[in-house]
A and B are shown apart, each in its own frame.
Chain A
Amino acid sequence: MTNRTILVLLDPATEVRTGVLELLTIARGLGRVEAVSLESPTVEALAQLGAYGVGTVRQAELPPALHGDERHLPAVVAAALAAAVRRADADVVLLPTSFANKEAAALAAHHLGAGLIIDAAAVSEDDDRRVVGSKRVFAGSWDTACAVTTDVAVITVRANAVVPAAAEAAVEPVVEGFAVQVPELPVTLVSRTVKPRTSGRPSLEEAAVVVAGGRGTGGDFGPVEDLADALGAAVGASRDAVFEGWWDAYIGQTGVTIAPRVYIGAGISGAPHHRGGMQAAQVIVAVNSDPEAPIFEICDFAVVGDLADVLPQAAAEIRKHKG
């Protein structure tokens, strides 16, 4: 075992999301784990962090001049992470991949002179004790590994990289405040709105199972939602379907990039743009009325048929099995 210190970004601190639990699980394999928050963690969050082996939560004390939502700006998150690394003399910073976290990770690495890896699927160490991030690239067709050659590594890790596992022995986390200097913000935050998460469904980014609909739905996402709910899955869409206004979040290399255990695409042909966002899924299933649909080339299992018939039947069968 090493004497590394690993910081995991906990944002928000009011709940410990699945993505953070995955990071804590990875971090324990690398060394001593601490969390960094920008607000006060809840009692429930602390208990869960303790179960995952987090001994210290470093809570950023932000300048009072900073108001409201400004603490969400990547420049502020980056300042907090850089300050936490210096305070804890940490070696690795892990963040769940998101557009905002990539930005914060890049700026933190810039402040720290640290090496940066984006969208790692695994983090390990090599024979020279360097931190190595592994990635699946080119729409899931190549595996690469990158070693960090600087003292500090900043790494964003994609969702579903590991199955979260609690520590062998729970600990009682201590919350320690630390002051963060934030230079004058060059950008003015005029407004910020957060889309509420759909209750009862996992988020697309984090879900282990995703059912996605495309042009072949003709705008009716009822069968897609029906199968998703039978499976406890998230719902996604192709970019075409979102441009048509049928759904709000699209899977693709410029939209949400997912790597679930199971991806089920319905009425999606599988254009390169879409494949770039889902091809890292472990198991790929497709339903399409066109037997020539390109998505069939990358599937484990496929049904040629009308999704309006196939999806509800599959949903009913799964509900029957679940009792």
Chain B
Amino acid sequence: MRIVVTVKYVPDINTERGFEDCRVVRSPAEGTLNELDENALEAALQLVEAAGQGEVVALTVAAPDGDVALRKAFQMGVTRGVRVSDDALAGSDYFGTAAALAAAVRKLEEESPVDLVITGMAALDGLGSVVPVLLAAELGRPALHLAKKLAVSGGTVTVVREADDVTEELSAPLPAVVSVTDTANRPRFPNFKLIMAARTREIEAWTAADLGLDPATVGAAGARTQTVSAAPRPPRPETQLVTDKGDGGVALAEFLLRNDLV
């Protein structure tokens, strides 16, 4: 079982996030592995452990700062990390990102087949939740998106997904692309040995040219959308705080009525 897990370097949701020149500010102090990717890593590690052999490769498209995300993947037990970095990829939209990830998966395939690509359900910065599906489309493989349960048996992957009040069971032949939700598993905590080993593990850096990507089709040059403005919201007016002394409910109702919200 050989599995590629795509991971993303994102600003920590517990910090002040923002934009500069219409691009998300990514700083090493506040950047981290997208938390939802931990579920993807956990799912991949469990499958390889159950198979008794194989490899999990963590793959990211990021500037060199993004190594933070790969180090975290190493800490969980991943043994190989690949970062695709290129100025030509800056400003990629969903399609450019999917194209770069797909090209890297194809390059990994030149070594030996990749049975599964597993992703998180979304990245916590953009929350688009479409790259998994676009990656599958780029690779020409079945997409099983938002898996809450995942099982692989005899060359077939089966998932249960719950979304929008619908529960579905889907199956597809391998190789396939699967995204897992944050309820699919509980990601493991890194142990001391893996944390130490993660520090010195080598990260392979690939460029757009290594992947045969045409610079005109990725990055800002190939993007089909362009962020034209980004502005912080004005701060909310101060909270009106009432301490309940027996009439807190009445105060709440009056607030709603006064503001024409009923």
Please list the residues of chain A having a beta carbon within 8 angstroms of any beta carbon in chain B. 72, 74, 98-100, 102-103, 105-107, 109-110, 113-119, 126, 132-133, 136-150, 186-195, 197, 203, 205, 209, 231, 249, 253-254, 257, 261-262, 264, 272-273, 276, 283-285, 287, 291, 296-306, 309-318, 321-322
- Cβ contact within 8 Å between A314 and B253: yes
Q: Is the CB of A145 within 8 A of B229?
A: yes
Closest chain-B Cβ to A164's Cβ sits at a distance in Å of 18
**Does more than half of chain B's interface fall in helix, strand or loop, or is it mixed?**
mixed
Instruction: Assess A149 versus B171: contact at CB under 8 Å? Given A103-B130, A262-B256, A309-B244.
Output: no
Which residues in A have their C-beta under 8 angstroms from that of B95?
A: 109-110, 116
29 A-B residue pairs with Cβ-Cβ distance under 8 Å, sorted by A, are A98-B163, A100-B164, A102-B129, A106-B130, A109-B224, A132-B228, A144-B22, A144-B229, A145-B227, A146-B228, A149-B225, A190-B168, A192-B167, A192-B169, A193-B168, A195-B167, A197-B165, A205-B164, A249-B165, A254-B122, A262-B256, A276-B124, A287-B252, A298-B236, A303-B248, A304-B242, A309-B244, A317-B249, A322-B262
> How many Å lie between the Cα of A118 and that of B228 in the bound state?
16
| A141 contacts B163, C-beta separation under 8 Å | no
User: Is A110 a contact of B163 with CB atoms below 8 Å?
Assistant: no
Closest to A296 in B: B239
Query: Do residues A119 and B229 form an inter-chain contact, with CB atoms below 8 A?
Result: no
| CB neighbors of A among B127-148 (8 A) | 127-130, 133-134, 137, 141-146
Interface centre among A105, A107, A197, A203, by most chain B C-beta atoms within 10 angstroms, is A107
- With both chains docked as a complex, state the minimum distance between the C-beta of B256 and any C-beta of chain A, in angstroms: 7
Main secondary structure of the interface of A (DSSP, over half): mixed
The residue of chain B having its C-beta at the shortest distance from the C-beta of A196 within the complex is B165
B53 within 8 A of partner (CB): no
A30 to chain B, nearest CB (A): 16
- Distance from A173 Cβ to chain B, minimum over Cβ atoms (Å): 26
- A-B CB contacts (within 8 Å), total count: 248
Chain A residues whose CB sits within 8 angstroms of the CB of B261 once the complex forms: 209, 261-262, 283
Are A231 and B262 in contact (CB-based, < 8 A)?
A: yes
Interface assignment of B255: CB less than 8 Å from any CB of chain A: yes
Please indicate the chain A residues that have their CB under 8 angstroms from the CB of B165 in the complex.
194-195, 197, 203, 249
Contacts of B19 in A (CB 8 A): 142, 144
Q: Which residue numbers of B lie inside 8 Å of A, CB to CB?
A: 13-14, 17-19, 22, 36, 93-95, 121-122, 124-130, 133-134, 137, 141-146, 158, 163-172, 181-182, 223-233, 236-237, 239-244, 247-257, 259, 261-262
